[in-house]
């Protein structure tokens, strides 16, 4: 076996915080994990819905609610303008569902990354005007950088409410209302809210205003239960890979509880079924690796209309048909991604200097623009460098999607580059870990050099050192199904609140090839070599061969494997080194 390509370091933790959590009745293993993730107060672990931050802390909430209240009272048409990813799809479905429940006249336009590009562009405003003739446009998961589109809408007599979570430009666009926790002077503490979380809060603020005005009684309506929408919030939040701060963990936990209780909307149930996932056992990671990719496949390869229809489906048959189509699209996406990933690896092998850059750019003329973000993400994981992958767009330029590493703010790097090198970037937007951009075709080589310099200026050396943070070792008494169940309940785990990753030594007792590249293993933990634990090591079988070692030092997740309603302990190995 080759040595690990990343440095293994143990997460530091505050022993005083750990002790406070234990004294509050938290299991010692969980207390240790929580303390290593910065939790010190037991109250931070309250994940009931009442622990959510109140809507009125969001700047712009009052103005947004005023526009929407007036639209409902006057019977005006509200059009939702979404984004072409999972966050945008769930945001759109949530806004449509909530406004319909409040007796609103609501419709939506389907974003198409190939025809319109990202955000509220003048072209999509024209599309909305010609197809649904709205009085009010509400952006979800976009709009904060859409000055041109907002001006176009207002010239046509529309009011515009922007709900977004991406970082704003230097000056805010002239919308009638902007709700974005990252805009200046916003006191809302959850700056990591996803787009679907922001529109959920706007709908909560609108419901509160309508309740005060006795709207629901006057309309003969039952007041909508916004908690029913938290399944959408959970999916969009996890799939958008935003940090799971305290507020996001509450939103995701509440949504997961609905999913596990069989209370999800038909579209989400159907997506879990076609993926072979049992809702009762669904975890946050399943939303990111199972549900999210199937919804995203529509926006990557075609347009997001199919994904939105799936989420809005009211009957099981329609939901199932949509989910099956999305599953087929996802299979196509996987095939394209695998080919493009192989292309990227070939490029790195033919030009080793690429991997030595601070910021890496990749390009092929035959790449699909909807898949480049996935390629950038996989190469970023391999090199531990910010990576931007490019494909040709339909206008003769290049469309790029970038992914970064902790400690290198992707949007800040692009903003610095655009300021220092005018003309190299046509447009860009995003946040710390991901961004999208367009670059003139003839400027690619100059952009590559400028991006490398921009990353070098803002990145500390340790930020570009490949490393995996672990939670140390487990005692033999902790290698049990009960502890794995405890960890499953102790989440949700995800970005910014990583799933526990442990380190340990094992004797390899048996190996079995699964598929072409994966290994099912039976391991004896160090110090108890007669005991056996099952493990799965994805992608470990090089050329279809098992590991040529009888001993491994491994990093692993402690998980529950559910098969035919039987629950067993399983280690999911992330990385290992042999003798």
| DSSP letters spanning 294-330 | HHHHHHHHS-THHHHHHHH--SHHHHHHHHHHHHHHH
21-27 mean pLDDT: 96
Maximal C-alpha separation, the chain:
76
pTM of full prediction above 0.85: yes
- Helical ranges in 302-435 per DSSP H: 305-312, 316-350, 372-383, 410-420
pLDDT at res. 433? 87
Report the distance separating Cα 550 and Cα 540, nearest Å. Answer: 15
What are the tens digits of pLDDT across the range 417-429?
998 888 899 888 8
Whether a cis peptide bond, with omega within 30° of 0, leads into 465 is no
pLDDT at res. 4? 52
* 3-state SS class at 399: strand
H or E stretch covering 149:
helix 147-155
Confidence band of 491 (pLDDT split at 50, 70, 90) = very high
The domain 468-578 is placed in CATH, from the list 2.40.110.10, 3.40.50.10480, 2.40.50.460, 3.40.1390.30, at 2.40.50.460
Average per-residue pLDDT for the chain = 93
100-104 mean pLDDT: 97
| Beta-bridge partners for 81 | 109, 139
* 3-state SS class at 120: coil
Q: Within 10 Å of residue 289's Cβ, how many Cβ atoms?
A: 14
pLDDT at res. 63? 98
Please give the span between the terminal C-alpha atoms of the chain, in angstroms, as a whole number. 8
228-243 mean pLDDT: 96
Q: Which of 75-79, 399-403, 428-432 has the lowest mean pLDDT?
A: 428-432
The percent of residues in the chain predicted with pLDDT above 90, rounded, is 80
469-491 mean pLDDT: 95
- pLDDT at position 71 over 70: yes
351-464 shares its CATH topology with 468-578: no
For the chain, what's the residue count? 579
Confidence band of 5 (pLDDT split at 50, 70, 90) = low
Contacts by 35-44 with C-beta closer than 8 Å and gap 24+? Answer: 36/11, 36/12, 36/471, 37/11, 37/497, 37/498, 40/14, 40/16, 44/246
Domain coordinates in residue numbering, the chain = 51-326, 351-464, 468-578
pLDDT at res. 531? 76
Question: Structure tokens of 42?
Answer: 């037991």
Of the candidates 135, 130, 89, the one whose C-alpha atom is nearest the C-alpha of residue 113 is 89
The domain 51-326 is placed in CATH, from the list 3.30.950.10, 3.20.20.70, 2.160.20.10, 3.90.1640.30, at 3.90.1640.30
Task: For 26, list phi and psi in degrees, rounded to 5.
Answer: -75, 135
Confidence band of 516 (pLDDT split at 50, 70, 90) = confident
Report the distance separating Cα 361 and Cα 451, nearest Å. Answer: 8
- pLDDT at position 237 over 50: yes
Report the distance separating Cα 298 and Cα 304, nearest Å. Answer: 5
- pLDDT at position 2 over 70: no
Describe the strand order of the beta sheet including 360-363 as a list of residue ranges: 360-363, 387-392, 398-403, 434-439, 427-430
* Fold category of 351-464 in CATH: Diaminopimelate Epimerase; Chain A, domain 1 (3.10.310)
pLDDT at res. 3? 47
Confidence band of 111 (pLDDT split at 50, 70, 90) = confident
* 3-state SS class at 75: coil
Strand 159-163 and strand 518-525: the pairing is unpaired
pLDDT at res. 318? 97
Report the distance separating Cα 151 and Cα 173, nearest Å. Answer: 9
């Amino acid at each position: 076996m080759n040595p690990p390509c990343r440095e293994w370091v143990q997460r530091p933790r505050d022993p005083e915080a750990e002790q406070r959590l234990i004294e509050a009745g938290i299991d010692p293993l969980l207390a240790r994990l929580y303390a290593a993730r910065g939790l010190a107060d037991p109250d931070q672990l309250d994940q009931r819905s009442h622990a959510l931050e109140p809507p009125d802390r969001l700047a712009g909430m009052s103005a947004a609610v005023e526009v929407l209240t007036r639209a409902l009272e006057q019977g005006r048409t509200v059009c939702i303008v979404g984004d072409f990813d999972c966050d945008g799809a769930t945001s759109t479905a949530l806004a449509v569902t909530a406004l319909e429940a409040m007796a609103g006249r609501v419709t939506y336009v389907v974003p198409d990354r190939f025809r319109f590009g990202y955000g509220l562009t003048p072209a999509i405003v024209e599309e909305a005007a010609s197809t649904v003739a709205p009085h009010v446009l509400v952006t979800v998961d976009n709009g904060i950088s859409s000055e041109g589109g907002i001006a176009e809408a207002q010239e046509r007599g529309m009011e515009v409410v922007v709900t977004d979570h991406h970082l704003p430009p230097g000056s805010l666009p002239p919308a009638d209302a902007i709700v974005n926790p990252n805009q200046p002077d916003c006191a809302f503490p959850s700056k990591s809210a996803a787009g679907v979380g922001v529109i959920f809060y706007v709908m909560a603020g609108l419901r509160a205003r309508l309740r005060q005005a006795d709207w629901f009684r006057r309309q003969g309506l039952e007041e909508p239960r916004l908690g029913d929408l938290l399944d959408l919030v959970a999916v969009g939040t996890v799939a958008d890979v935003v940090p799971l701060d305290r507020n996001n963990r509450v939103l995701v936990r509440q949504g997961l509880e609905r999913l596990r209780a069989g209370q999800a909307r038909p579209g989400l149930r159907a997506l879990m079924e076609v993926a072979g996932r049992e809702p009762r056992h669904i975890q946050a990671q399943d939303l990111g690796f199972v549900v999210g990719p199937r919804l995203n496949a529509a926006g990557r390869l075609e347009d997001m209309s199919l994904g939105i229809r799936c989420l809005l489906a009211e009957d099981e048959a329609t939901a199932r048909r949509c989910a099956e189509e999305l599953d087929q699209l996802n299979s196509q996406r996987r095939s394209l991604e695998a080919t493009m990933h192989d292309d990227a690896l070939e490029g790195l092998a033919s030009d080793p200097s690429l991997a030595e850059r601070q910021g890496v750019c990749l390009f092929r003329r035959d790449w699909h623009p909807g898949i480049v973000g996935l390629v950038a993400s996989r190469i970023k994981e391999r090199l531990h460098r910010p990576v931007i992958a490019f494909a040709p767009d339909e206008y003769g330029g290049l469309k790029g999607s970038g992914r970064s590493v902790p400690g290198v703010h992707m949007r800040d790097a692009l903003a610095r580059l655009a300021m220092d090198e005018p003309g190299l970037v046509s447009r860009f937007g995003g946040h710390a870990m991901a961004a999208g951009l367009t670059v003139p075709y003839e400027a690619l080589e100059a952009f590559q050099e400028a991006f490398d310099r921009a990353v070098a200026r803002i990145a500390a050396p340790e930020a570009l050192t490949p490393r995996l943070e672990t939670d140390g070792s487990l005692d033999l008494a902790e290698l049990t199904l009960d502890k794995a169940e405890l960890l499953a309940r102790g989440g949700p785990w995800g970005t910014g609140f990583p799933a526990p990753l442990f380190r340990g030594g094992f004797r390899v007792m048996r190996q079995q090839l699964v598929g072409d590249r994966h290994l099912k293993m039976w391991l004896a933990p160090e110090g108890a070599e007669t005991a056996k634990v099952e493990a799965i090591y994805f992608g470990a079988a090089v050329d279809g061969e098992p590991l040529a070692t009888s001993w491994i030092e491994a990093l692993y997740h402690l998980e529950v494997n559910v098969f035919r309603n039987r629950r067993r302990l399983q280690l999911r190995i992330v990385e290992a080194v042999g003798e």
